[in-house]
Amino acid sequence: MVEHANEAFFAVIGAEDLGVRTGVPLGQLFPRGGGAGLLPLLDRVYRSGESRTGPDTRVVVGRGPSLREASFDLTCEPRLDVGGNVMGVLVTGVETTQVKQAQRLTAEHRALLEQIARQAPLEQVLDGMARAIEDLAPEEVLVSVLLAAADGRHLRHGAAPSLPDFYNRAIDGIAAGEGVGSCGTAAHRRESVIVTDIATDPFWDDFRDLAEQAGVRACWSTPILARDGSLLGTFAMYHRAPRAPQESDLALARVFAGTAALAIERHEAEQARAAAEAREQAARRDLAFLLAASTSLSSDLDYTETLRRLATACAPALAPLCTVDVVDAGRVKRLAVTAPTAREEGLLASHLPVYDAVDDAVGRVLATGQSEVARRAPTGSGPWSALRVTGYLCAPLLDRGEAFGVLTLLTTGEDAFDGHTVALAEELARRAASAALNARQYTQRAALTRDLQSGLLLPQVPTVPGTEIATYYHPAGEGLDVGGDFYDVFPLDDGAWAFMLGDVCGRGATAATTTALVRHTARAVAPLLPGPEAVVRAVNKALLDRPSSHGTGFVTLVYGHLSPVPDGGLDLTFVRAGHTHPLLIGVGREPRPVASDGLLLGITRAPDLVARRIRLQPGESLLLYTDGITEARDGAGEQFGEERLVAALAAAPCPATAPAVITALTRAVRAFTGAGGIDDDQAALVLTATPLPPDPTPDSGPGAGCRRMSR
């Protein structure tokens, strides 16, 4: 029986309006079953006479709408009479409901932060947060989180585990604006919006029926803001009945809105990082693709092969079907076709675009120089239906802004050409056009160089009585420049023949003009002057008198005259002007240089020149060569040198024919330099006296008298 209680007790149990407060059994003051946790404790104290405590005792308190379950820390002490008998119990209670709730909320909040730190999926974090608040709230509450869309002007569904699905679908995508419910308005204002009664609030005019169907009557919405103040979403708490928030409710909303902001920002940062990594990987793949394609395009200096490699690079990497068309003599020529099957390749190869047709995609791109892309088959005639073409991309191949060809990619499925593929195809077309034009220019320049070089060398070796002649010429590099080495053999009026071999300083067009000057001067004056010395002086004068625009470089030269001897052999008279010493290859003797003094030409008006006369016996040879042979280097940088040259000639068959001398020489040089290129032009001229008919005596077998002496 309640003897006395303070006002706080009656307020907690909701008994303020009861007519009788004391003299009533305690169980009647609590709601039905509400004192189930307290009454057994009182009985134990009464029966034992000992004080007892009841920590965290759960008691149902309040009445009607305010009915709730609360927690109390209870202390029960017996009241004794003079005889020590228990006359009653003094109960002191301290409500711990909010403390316990705060502890549970703190634990849940810590768990959410751990999930965020572990980078748990955003959906999981938001759903867990909503459920935790709903479970821990002392009264029923329904939590919703909406996320700001990419445009920042709309809100998308994030989490709302207890709201009906139809309601979540209906508000998914609502605008962030004034008067658009609680959440739309909060997102617009960037501040909390409290609607205590949805049925009367104007913010809910457009959503009132929807809220009624969902069974919600109040909505408190708090904006979720990033650290920079930008909108991330909204955090809303719905109630089944009209209700105004307490300060603790608002504080709770702020805490969990901040938690949601942390989770969303972490998620967006992770998405941004993943997107950046994806872009980087895509860029790396694109770069690798372009590098591989560029390497393939530039690996062959052939115009047609380069454009065929373009088609191979595009299919199937960019599209399953690919063609490359170029303009040739006013008509479109299909150079390359790539398709998955031979049948499809045949269909593409059999179709030729029309250059000036307005209904042909290739013709339009050739006319405009602009790419064309569409999600349909090309206009105009073509095997598009048989190939099941669903889209096309035509990229021009440009030469100084004018289209000379078109790269066409064709799709056959649902995939369409996006901006990335278009950009990649256009870049590849640009590189292919550059490579193809370079290849064409190289081919044209190489042909021009060959034509010019052939004009500076003997078209064919002449037939000279009593003489066998062999020549060798190999330019340095890729043959795009005219070499500076030259040779010539031409007849004189008295039955003699002139020969020369020289080296012009430099390469290219200037060297070509100097070579032509030397050869043509010698050919012009040789019939008019008495001997090689006079001819060489005339050549020197021509070099000194040439215009500076035709070059100023010097020339090294061996020039001479030869005459057959009636009984076999050759008489040679020659002048060496700064050139390498000729080598005499005798029968039975080691090859040796023929000493002859002389300064190089084009330096002084009076060069010191000395004519040298020798006779070649039948089977003997005179080798004239340029320094590109002796100065050829191996991989370690060592020069071939004169000793290796002599050794190579000594190993030649004996008696050595002129072609055999050239073969022995070139094989030795190639074996020494290996696969590497040469740094300088190489030229050689071999004059061999024709052997006499063999003597039919027994001692004249093959090779008799042909052993060469070693050094």
Q: What's the CATH fold of domain 116-270?
A: Beta-Lactamase (3.30.450)
Q: Are 169 and 213 in contact (CB under 8 A)?
A: no
Alpha helices in 457-557 (DSSP H): 508-525, 532-545
H/E run at residue 336: strand 331-338
Q: For residue 546, what are its two tokens?
A: 């040439």
> Token pair 């040796």 is at which residue?
592
- For residue 507, the 8-state DSSP code is -
Query: CA 282 from chain center: how many Å?
Result: 8
Burial of 573 (0-12, 13-18, 19+ CB in 10 A): middle
Distance, CA of 239 to CA of 141 (rounded, Å): 5
pLDDT at res. 703? 45
Is residue 70 very low, low, confident or very high in pLDDT (cuts 50, 70, 90)? confident
Distance, CA of 84 to CA of 78 (rounded, Å): 10
> Token pair 């009241």 is at which residue?
79
Which of 629, 691, 684 is CA-nearest to residue 659? Answer: 684
Burial of 4 (0-12, 13-18, 19+ CB in 10 A): exposed
Range scoring the smallest mean pLDDT among 435-444, 570-579, 701-710? 701-710
Q: Each residue of 507-528: pLDDT tens digit?
A: 777 788 888 889 999 999 999 9
Do the bridges between strand 174-175 and strand 611-616 make them parallel or antiparallel, or are there none, so unpaired?
unpaired
Q: What is the dihedral of CA 384, 387, 389, 395, to 10 degrees?
A: -80
Is residue 588 very low, low, confident or very high in pLDDT (cuts 50, 70, 90)? confident
Q: Each residue of 428-481: pLDDT tens digit?
A: 999 999 999 888 887 777 666 665 655 566 778 899 999 999 999 887 755 555
Q: For residue 192, what are its two tokens?
A: 């909390």
pLDDT at res. 16? 63
Kindly report the CA angle at 430 between 427 and 436, in degrees rounded to 5?
140
pLDDT at res. 18? 58
Alpha helices in 298-374 (DSSP H): 303-314, 342-350, 361-368
Q: Are 224 and 264 in contact (CB under 8 A)?
A: yes
H/E run at residue 294: helix 247-297
- Max Cα separation, the chain? 171
Q: For residue 687, what are its two tokens?
A: 């004059």
pLDDT at res. 702? 44
Range scoring the smallest mean pLDDT among 54-63, 72-81, 565-574? 54-63
Task: Give mean pLDDT, residues 667-682.
Answer: 81
Question: What is the percentage of the chain residues whose pLDDT exceeds 90?
Answer: 48
pLDDT at res. 700? 45
pLDDT at res. 456? 62
Please tell me which residue, 693 or 528, carries the higher pLDDT value.
Answer: 528
Question: Model-level pTM greater than 0.75?
Answer: no
Question: What is the residue extent of each domain of the chain?
Answer: 7-100, 116-270, 299-449, 457-689
Choose from 176-185, 477-486, 548-557 the range with maximum mean pLDDT: 176-185
pLDDT at res. 711? 39
Do the bridges between strand 86-95 and strand 154-159 make them parallel or antiparallel, or are there none, so unpaired?
unpaired
Taking the CB of residue 554, how many other CB atoms lie within 10 A of it? 20
pLDDT at res. 705? 45
Class of domain 299-449: alpha beta
Residues 6+ away with beta carbon under 8 Å from 546: 514, 517
Q: Is the dihedral of CA 29, 30, 32, 36 positive or negative?
A: negative
Distance, CA of 391 to CA of 376 (rounded, Å): 4
Helix (H, G, I), strand (E, B) or coil at 595: coil
Q: For residue 410, what are its two tokens?
A: 């064709």
Distance, CA of 707 to CA of 262 (rounded, Å): 98
Q: How far is CA 253 from CA 189, 259, 708, in A?
A: 17, 10, 110
- For residue 34, the 8-state DSSP code is T
Q: Is 52 left (phi over 0), alpha (psi -120 to 50) or beta?
A: beta
Distance, CA of 669 to CA of 675 (rounded, Å): 11
Helix (H, G, I), strand (E, B) or coil at 435: helix
With a cut of 50, say whether residue 583 has pLDDT above it.
yes
What's the full length of the chain, in residues?
711
Is residue 8 very low, low, confident or very high in pLDDT (cuts 50, 70, 90)? confident
Helix (H, G, I), strand (E, B) or coil at 270: helix
Q: Each residue of 96-148: pLDDT tens digit?
A: 877 777 777 777 778 778 888 888 898 988 898 888 888 877 678 999 999 99
- For residue 606, the 8-state DSSP code is S
Topology match between the domains 7-100 and 299-449: yes
pLDDT at res. 629? 92
pLDDT at res. 300? 79
Q: What are phi and psi of 157, to 5 degrees?
A: -60, 130
pLDDT at res. 620? 92
With a cut of 80, say whether residue 37 has pLDDT above it.
no
Helix (H, G, I), strand (E, B) or coil at 403: strand
Which of 532, 688, 552, 543 is CA-nearest to residue 610? Answer: 532
pLDDT at res. 449? 61
Distance, CA of 546 to CA of 692 (rounded, Å): 46
> Token pair 């965020």 is at which residue?
116
Q: Each residue of 527-538: pLDDT tens digit?
A: 999 999 999 999
Q: Are 541 and 551 in contact (CB under 8 A)?
A: no
For the chain, give me the number of helices (H) and strands (E)?
A: 19, 24
pLDDT at res. 447? 64
Task: Give mean pLDDT, residues 657-667.
Answer: 93
Q: How far is CA 520 from CA 514, 594, 668, 684, in A?
A: 10, 27, 33, 20
pLDDT at res. 253? 85
Q: Each residue of 156-206: pLDDT tens digit?
A: 999 999 999 999 999 999 999 999 999 999 999 999 999 999 999 999 999
Is residue 489 very low, low, confident or very high in pLDDT (cuts 50, 70, 90)? very high
Q: What's the CATH fold of domain 457-689?
A: Phosphatase 2c; domain 1 (3.60.40)
Is residue 57 very low, low, confident or very high in pLDDT (cuts 50, 70, 90)? confident
Task: Give mean pLDDT, residues 700-708.
Answer: 47
With a cut of 60, say whether residue 44 has pLDDT above it.
yes
The mean pLDDT value of the chain amounts to: 86
Class of domain 7-100: alpha beta
At position 612, the amino acid (one-letter code) is R
Q: What is the dihedral of CA 304, 309, 312, 317, to 10 degrees?
A: -140
Is residue 497 very low, low, confident or very high in pLDDT (cuts 50, 70, 90)? very high
H/E run at residue 400: none
Distance, CA of 114 to CA of 266 (rounded, Å): 12
Task: Give mean pLDDT, residues 87-93.
Answer: 91
Q: How far is CA 34 from CA 30, 71, 91, in A?
A: 5, 12, 16
pLDDT at res. 182? 95
Q: Each residue of 606-652: pLDDT tens digit?
A: 888 999 999 999 999 999 999 989 999 888 889 999 999 999 998 88
Residues 6+ away with beta carbon under 8 Å from 255: 109
Q: Each residue of 191-249: pLDDT tens digit?
A: 999 999 999 999 999 999 999 999 999 999 999 999 899 999 999 999 999 989 888 78
C-alpha gyration radius of the chain:
52
Question: What is the percentage of the chain residues whose pLDDT exceeds 70?
Answer: 90
